[in-house]
Amino acid sequence: MKIAVVGGGSTYTPELVSGLAGERERLDVSELVLQDIDPERLEVVGGLAGRMLERDGFSGALTLTDDLDRALDGADFVLVQIRVGGQQARLSDETVPLACGCVGQETTGAGGLAKALRTVPVVLSIADRARELAADGAWIVDFTNPVGIVTRALLDAGHRAIGLCNVAIGFERTAARLLGVKPQRLVIDQVGLNHLTWVRAVVLDGKDVLPELIANHGEELAGSSHLSREALEELGAVPSYYLRYFYAHDAVLAEQRRGVPRAAEVAEIERGLLELYRDPELAEKPALLEQRGGAYYSEAAVGLIASLVAGNGEVHEVDLRNDGTLQGLADDDVVEVPARVFPNRIEPLEQAPLAPELLGLVQHVAAYERLAAAAAVSGDRELVYKALLAHPLVGQVPPVEELTEQLLAADREHLPQFESPEAVA
């Protein structure tokens, strides 16, 4: 089996590499290819990856390349983890909306739209080459944010793709620790859209123990959600930490205006990580990587691949077509739900209808995601305007008009689809 990682120079890559050893029995990987357009980062990250694989007794080949076609050729799985525009573009996503009185965040709201506009066309071009060069039946596993919108665009274009996020597995590990059980005994019923999900049940050996968790550990769960314990008790569910941008909008906006952008913090963490990765004695992922985000990415990604190869219905939290899974959403919407994964087959777990207070927000954001994906592909400025108007974190005409112009201007070098024929000429 050949696995290609597009964006292999990411500081996340050691997370992925560390997961391969744990699935060696189910995954016979003959070649792992790390591809990146930044040769320096690829050399540094690839060096650590090589040492980690050697330590773990990896018998396959590790290939480092900047050649996308070389990476995709014959690949059985293509993992996409890219950041178009790097941390500088992320900084723009997090700061431009603030001047308009809107939350600045790289995966939701105005910042999330900006990221989608510059990311979707690049991922689609990668997928198109994979369609020509990868093995028959190859899977594209997208970890590139905004995962829901990117996955929707891939599926709209007819690619065999699935989206992956690490929020659910992170909650699973927290719940397992609080309950004193192994994570494998739990099924986390986390539902909604990517970065807009609620845990509605935690099933332990067939019994929902979420009420017990909230009663006994409500303060810790509330802290991880950045919300109050009372909010969890009222909802009877645990919102993902991304819901704070909606449920505590004004407080978050005030905090962002006076604080240091997360992009600046991440850039500093990445500098530190790359320096650590250069150490020829280092052969394991450093503790600093935990501060980068993406915890348990290795287990989520490699576990999903293993289930698609040799699974027996293990439950994974994935992004896929709704197809009737959540009532009140269109069949072609992309939802994030737990699903049983078999070789070449994915079956979402049956879901009860969303409560009105959840469904209303999900429908609102699903409409935005539909418009955002269409705008990213078409280069239609009017769709950018409508997407911003549809998003509940923006939704007012004056900031929408201003943001439409500012976002397109800030990312102009990454948005060729928005250039007029006259400008191209």
CA 90, 244, 296, 110 torsion-angle sign: negative
Q: Is 242 a catalytic residue?
A: yes
Among the listed residues 242, 245, 297, 385, the single catalytic one is 242
Tell me the residue type at 377.
V
Map tokens 């997370």 to a residue: 15
Give which of 96, 112, 92 is closest to 371, Cα–Cα: 112
Alpha-carbon span 81 to 147, nearest angstrom: 10
φ, ψ dihedrals at 77, nearest 5°:
-135, 135
**Using an 8 Å Cβ cutoff, are 245 and 103 in contact?**
yes
Give which of 307, 147, 321 is closest to 240, Cα–Cα: 147
User: Is the link from the previous residue into 146 a cis peptide, with omega within 30 of 0?
Assistant: yes
How far, in whole angstroms, is CA 249 from its chain's centroid? 22
Q: How many Cα atoms within 13 Å fall on the side-chain side of residue 89? A: 22
Beta bridge partners of 189: 201
The conformation of residue 336, written as its DSSP 8-state character, comes to E
Beta bridge partners of 5: 34, 79
Give the torsion through C-alpha atoms of 333, 153, 370, 383, to 10 deg.
-170
Alpha-carbon span 402 to 100, nearest angstrom: 7
Alpha-carbon span 68 to 411, nearest angstrom: 24
Q: Tell me the two tokens of residue 245.
A: 């941008």
Beta bridge partners of 63: 33
- What value, to the nearest 5°, has the Cα angle with vertex 139 and ends 351 and 22? 85
Alpha-carbon span 157 to 106, nearest angstrom: 24
Give which of 44, 100, 28, 47 is closest to 256, Cα–Cα: 100
Alpha-carbon span 91 to 200, nearest angstrom: 33
Alpha-carbon span 402 to 411, nearest angstrom: 15
Catalytic residue IDs: 242
